[in-house]
Amino acid sequence: MNSYPDPVVLIHGAWQGSWGWAHLIPLLQAAGLEPHAIDLPGSGTETVPASEITLETCLDYLDGVLTAIGRPVSLVGHSGGGVVASAAGERFRDRVNRIAYVAGMMLPSGMNFGELQKSLEGQPGFSQGISDRIVYSADGLSSTVPPEEAAAIFFNDCPPDVAMAAAKKLTPQAEGARAILSELTPARFGTLPRLYVEATDDRSVVLLAQRRMQDLVPGAIVKTLDTGHAPQLSAPEALAEALVPFLKGVE
């Protein structure tokens, strides 16, 4: 008999990779879970040309991951990985049991993050986050974030050396996998149990945006962490405590 609950697929955000989950993985394993940290196409170790990457490319890649695992999974999406997680929940509903978002883009069907940001402009707590600090390639097909800006925005609650080390691991991000939206239906995505782990000191997906997404896509369990954008790096124990009961299906 299999002694593990659902396998857990960890989906990183823009410019990041599977390396971002390194401190969380042993904590999930210690709780009896089976984590699988992936590199989406064009991210981390997956060197796919930016011109070839779309949301569908990412979903096709996840199809292979789920097939290899061979059992229904839980998904955890960080930041922009939340969009991919939602789309995967819609497309692979029979192979996905639940979705957790970590300061993630839990957007409603047909909305991208830029549209959400535009709707929040001028409200207390609004910030452009990293959006106005992104550096685009000459052909516009990919982007990078200067390490100093990434350390200040993404990893603001980490010690300076840890923040800079993480910032220097960021890789170029294809626009085809960043400026994306999901088409979601009540019959598929809408039937998935969801957890939203909000980060109150997030300078990228600010709390105002996180809570607006919770309003737009209601029904998620909400846990609150007093961290920056990447609690899997700055507070992995607290993040594991928030995630494990949900991922084990006990809440």
- Would residue 220 count as lying in a domain? yes
- Would residue 1 count as lying in a domain? no
- Would residue 71 count as lying in a domain? yes
| Domain region containing 88 | 7-128+176-247
- Would residue 63 count as lying in a domain? yes
Q: What does DSSP assign to residue 171?
A: -
Q: Which two tokens stand for residue 123?
A: 């409200």
- Would residue 139 count as lying in a domain? no
- Would residue 83 count as lying in a domain? yes
Give the tens place of pLDDT for each residue, 219-242. 999 999 999 999 999 999 999 999
Domain count, the chain: 1
Contact of 199 with 210, CB cutoff 8 Å = yes
The confidence band for 1, taking pLDDT boundaries of 50, 70 and 90, is very low
Whether 5 shows a pLDDT value over 50: the answer reads: yes
Give the tens place of pLDDT for each residue, 68-93. 999 999 999 999 999 999 999 999 99
Q: Which pLDDT does position 60 carry in this prediction?
A: 95
- Residues 240 and 246: their CA atoms lie apart, in Å, by 10
Stated pTM of the model: 0.95
Contact of 72 with 6, CB cutoff 8 Å = yes
- Would residue 231 count as lying in a domain? yes
Q: What does DSSP assign to residue 58?
A: H
CATH of the domain at 220: 3.40.50.1820
Alpha-helical runs (H) found in the chain: 25-30, 55-69, 81-91, 113-120, 147-153, 160-167, 207-216, 231-234, 236-247
Amino acid, res. 147: P
Give the tens place of pLDDT for each residue, 140-191. 888 999 999 999 999 999 999 999 999 999 999 888 777 778 899 999 999 9
Q: What is the Cβ-side half-sphere exposure of residue 179, based on CA atoms within 13 angstroms?
A: 13
Whether 41 shows a pLDDT value over 80: the answer reads: yes
